[in-house]
Amino acid sequence: MKKIIGVFIVLLVIAFLGILGLRIWNIEVVSLQTVIKSSATLLILGIAIVVLIISYGFYFKDNAEGYDKSVGNRAHPKV
């Protein structure tokens, strides 16, 4: 999953730099407003994903599930 996200981020950076290079030469493929709005949308989606992951771990994940609690305080494998 890390590699997929990393490749996606690298592709976004390359695309952004390509658009920036074209803007230097006054070649307009997309407007600057479109790039800013899409970047803001991606930022909002990223924040929402992080919040959902944190809330899932906080509210719905039971780390003690599956362990035999009668064994004691030592580390023991899941049942």
Collect all residues with Cβ–Cβ distance below 8 Å to 29 and sequence separation of at least 6: 19, 22
Do residues 35 and 16 touch, judged by C-beta distance below 8 A?
Answer: yes
Whole-model pTM over 0.75: no
d(CA 54, CA 29): 38
Distance, CA of 64 to chain centre = 27
Question: Per-residue DSSP letters for 10-51?
Answer: HHHHHHHHHHHHHHHTT--SS-HHHHHHHHHHHHHHHHHHHH
pLDDT at 72: 66
pLDDT at 1: 78
Output the pLDDT for position 57: 81
Q: How many domains does the chain have?
A: 1
The domain in which residue 17 lies consists of 1-78
Per-residue pLDDT of the chain (79 residues; tens, 9 = 90+): 789 889 989 998 998 898 888 888 888 777 878 878 988 998 999 999 999 999 888 887 766 666 666 666 666 666 5
